[in-house]
Amino acid sequence: MAAAVGASAGEYAVLANGFRLRVDTHEKVDGLVRLHTSGGTIELPPAQVSHFEQEEIIPEAPPPSPSSEDTSIKPATSPRELVEEAAKKWGLPPELLHSVAAAESNYRVDAVSPKGAVGVMQLMPATAAALSADPYDPAQNIDAGARYLREMLIRYNHGLWSALAAYNAGPGAVDRYNGVPPYRETRTYVNKVYRDYQKRAGSKAF
């Protein structure tokens, strides 16, 4: 029996580890908390969900008069700004996403790896297509990379090493070895990202 709890404006599920996920609604089903998001449904044990916060609705401001000076906030354009924006959108620690971006491409929008990974967070074309993103568009590339990293964190119960390994080598390899696969490139990558993340986040790192 499902007990539905709705929120017309949407809400945020705050997880026990501090992550925030935007959800449309949530419900309790067979001892699990089911989160309905724009990307699908996620089920978590109640112990992993701390609480829920209502999404704040900001009323639209009246349009400026033709004579007024344009003081509107410009959209993020630099890779570092886009990383901050994507981290906030997908409930990820910005320090973690910066560490991934630095390791993947050093924030270069024109970076292409020998294997064909594209852009700042080095999306493979197939992964970008699965996420409906244009890997050559920096905003879409970084947004999709953040979304994919979040999916890997959820998939591996927020085990950071496994999630980073899956981002680098694919979830199939992580599942096959039940953890970080014994690939030199992947292990070097995971260590590099994790050390940088610890340096950036300090005591906030998990």
Which positions are catalytic?
104
Measured between alpha carbons, how far is 66 from 22 in angstroms, rounded to an integer? 36
Residue 23, by phi and psi: left (phi above 0), alpha (psi -120 to 50) or beta?
beta
Measured between alpha carbons, how far is 200 from 137 in angstroms, rounded to an integer? 27
Q: What is the torsion angle, in degrees rounded to the nearest 10, for the CA atoms of residue 21, residue 24, residue 26 and residue 29?
A: -110
Q: Which two tokens stand for residue 52?
A: 């829920």
Q: What ranges make up the beta strands (E) of the chain?
A: 2-15, 20-29, 32-37, 40-44, 49-54
- Quickly list DSSP for 58-100: PPPPPPPPTTS---PPPPP-SHHHHHHHHHHHHT--HHHHHHH
Q: How far is CA 153 from the centre of its chain?
A: 9
Give φ, ψ of 81 to 5 degrees: -65, -40
